[in-house]
Structure 1
Amino acid sequence: NEDRALAIARGMVGGKVRNCRTLLRRNHPGEIQAALGELSRVGDLIDSVRSAETLLALEGAAAKTYFAHFGGLLKGEDEGGTVRFDFAARNRRPPADPVNALLSFLYAILSKDATVTLQSVGFDPMLGFLHRPRYGRPSLALDLMEEFRPLVVDSAVLSLINNREVVSSDFVRRGGAVALTGEGRKKVLAAYERRMATDVTHPIFGYTISYRRVLEVQARLLSRHVMGEIPTYPPFCT
């Protein structure tokens, strides 16, 4: 059912946009009221969007605004090192700088975790609502992880850089691409697991659980909605 799929996708993208806005509002040291207002505006539009194409366009507009200010959350560079931990824009395939390398690496890890979680609940992770099926792509995992991108991955990247947990020697340049070294991957995975183990209060149930457990709870809420047990899918927002 296209209308039902769109409603689920609206919830997931709307949750992501709200969580991106919250991350900027709580952590950005500068004057970003215009950006926060734009994210609120896009979030309101998402709630009433009538086509998947328009939803994807709005998601792209929100991501552009968010990442235009993401660099302002970072605390500079590795002093005496060979790389700068600054950020101008999101790039991938391949990532061209250390920050994008961190984001891409951890988004891939989150996608794998979402895939395993969905399978444990009984979903086929290849069949999505927002991300259309494509050979080899876990479309539903990409859907589910949307609201967790800023909460888990982006927050872990900020911690890694701002606390100087990663340094220049944790990255290697290969042509125009930047990748993590083996030692760098160990540090990044440790930070990711720390973040996934962080406790947070679930806004629907009111109890405190880890982000990893929240991922499972959201998958089960999605299952309950698909089975007709609850009227809508409620995204996880902080």
Structure 2
Amino acid sequence: MVTAVRRLVIITAVHEPAAPYLADAYKSLCAQELPDGWEWHWVVQEDGTSDAVAPHIPDDPRVTFKQGRPGGPGVARMMALAHADGEYVKVLDADDQLTPGALARDLAVLEGDPTLGWTTSRVLDLLPDGSTFGFDQDPDEGPIERGEVLEHWQAHNYRAQVHPATLFIRHDLLLALGGWMALPASEDTGLLLALNSVARGYFTREVGLLYRKWPGQATSQATHTDAGERDARMAVIEARARALSYSNWRYPITG
């Protein structure tokens, strides 16, 4: 009897300036070791239709490349979901890299506890000189209860204690929440807070991601810190999280 292979999907949004970094992201994916019976599928969605990204896409049957109208990383990830054919979805930004074992650790957590809907892990900033720098306020390893991220985020100037760039999510939960928010930035933070409003999560203290710092990244641009826009983004993110919490809908649904 042949056992069906189970799949997890890695979703990457990319725009032209970040395309050269896809090679490092792919290398980090190829270094992942999954349990027997599991495989990964990498869906790369360009935020636009240039000719500059395709040359950086690896020739690998496990990789799907798509293009579409530009709308920001949240829109690109949502379009990529149309090709997500696995039980779990892992976020991987085009300029970041997974650390060895990251996917297996995420998978083990959610496979081992059906009451958890998502995981995050520790992050190290990857600086241009190749050195790394860590966040000094990482939480303890273990479950993150509903509402904990929102509470911390509100008390720390809209900064969560866990990083949305490391999210690993049950596919059905991601779809039920409508995926990433329709925002020009912070769309992944909006998803993180929505997840935390309805489902328990988990934080892994072992480093799971190298978060590249470079001049062209979106979070380094002046528009990202514009006070008026930032306040508006944070307000709608908080409102969504609170509305989900007040709805009393919980994942997983029992009874």
| TM-score, normalised via structure 1 length | 0.29
Q: Which has the higher strand share?
A: 2
Q: Which has the higher helix share?
A: 1
| TM-score, normalised via structure 2 length | 0.28
